[in-house]
Amino acid sequence: MTTPLVVVGCGGHGREVSTIARAMDAGTGQPRWHLLGFVDDRPAEENIKRVHQLDLPYLGGIAWLRDAPTDTHHVIGIGDPRVRRAVGRRVDGYGTPAASVVHPAATIGPDTEYGPGFVAFAGARVTTNVTIGRHVHLNQNATVGHDSTLADYVSVNPLAAVSGDCHLAEGVLIGTTAAVLQGLRVGRDSTVGAGACVVRDVPDGVVVKGVPAR
Ligand SMILES: CC(C)(COP(=O)(O)OP(=O)(O)OC[C@H]1O[C@@H](n2cnc3c(N)ncnc32)[C@H](O)[C@@H]1OP(=O)(O)O)[C@@H](O)C(=O)NCCC(=O)NCCS
């Protein structure tokens, strides 16, 4: 069965998300998604052009989803975890279900559980006994080790490595190429800077950077 799908956000991240949905269907002969297009409250003109380059329409503001055709699903294509959370809460009120998109070149352990709105880019790797919440995004070549938990609205940016037994609380951003060593907790809404190495627990609501991360 083909499911109508709308991407929320027509910036670079959102357009990348649309390409994951397309990659899932490439060569299958039985498309899973019918990409309807993008919604965005404040799209830059250049991004509307880029959406058209993908042969997809800009449908209108996010409220378009409120009156969307029955069965329409959405996926939030916004990289910043806290902006994604704000938009996600609003869209939840419209009642269109969130879809998860997993690139065929991602590997997700068979005993991994993930919530709606999960996005796994090409090369993302999740091993075993990992629990992933709602609207979590794993960017290209991000890795997550055994027995970790990623709460709602976490983003792990390209090439970042989350070791085994880690806990990333809601709204955490792990920057590009950063490492979180085994068994550590990163607190709610905290940011780990690009290239950082986290060697001890990170409290809630802070930014840490550098090696070791401070
Ligand atoms: C760490 C981070 C959150 C800081 O953002 P910010 O508060 O806006 O920081 P600024 O750009 O104002 O820089 C503040 C200082 O931190 C330094 N800095 C910025 N990012 C840094 C990083 N990742 N590692 C080490 N130092 C960093 C800057 O050089 C600057 O130093 P200075 O005061 O000596 O000049 C951000 O730079 C970062 O790394 N974000 C992750 C980005 C990412 O993953 N992008 C990929 C998208 S797919």
108 with 91: CB under 8 angstroms? no
139 with 123: CB under 8 angstroms? no
Q: What is the pTM of this model?
A: 0.97
Class for the domain spanning 3-99: alpha beta
Class for the domain spanning 100-206: mainly beta
What helix, strand, coil percent values describe the chain, rounded to 5? Answer: 20, 25, 55
The per-residue pLDDT for range 121-147, each reduced to its tens digit, is 999 999 999 999 999 999 999 999 999
Residue limits of CATH 2.160.10.10 in the chain: 100-206
Query: Is 195 near ligand 1, meaning CB less than 6 Å away?
Result: yes
Ligand 1 centroid – CA 22 distance (Å): 33
Average pLDDT, the chain: 97
d(Cα 77, Cα 63) in Å, to the nearest integer? 15
With bands split at pLDDT 50, 70 and 90, how would you rate the model's confidence at 29? Answer: confident
With bands split at pLDDT 50, 70 and 90, how would you rate the model's confidence at 27? Answer: confident
Query: Is 194 near ligand 1, meaning CB less than 6 Å away?
Result: yes
Ligand 1 centroid – CA 193 distance (Å): 6
d(Cα 20, Cα 22) in Å, to the nearest integer? 5
Residue limits of CATH 3.40.50.20 in the chain: 3-99
Query: CA distances (Å), 213 to each of 103, 131, 201, in order?
Result: 31, 25, 10
The per-residue pLDDT for range 151-189, each reduced to its tens digit, is 999 999 999 999 999 999 999 999 999 999 999 999 999
For ligand 1, atom 30, the nearest C-alpha belongs to 209
For ligand 1, atom 7, the nearest C-alpha belongs to 207
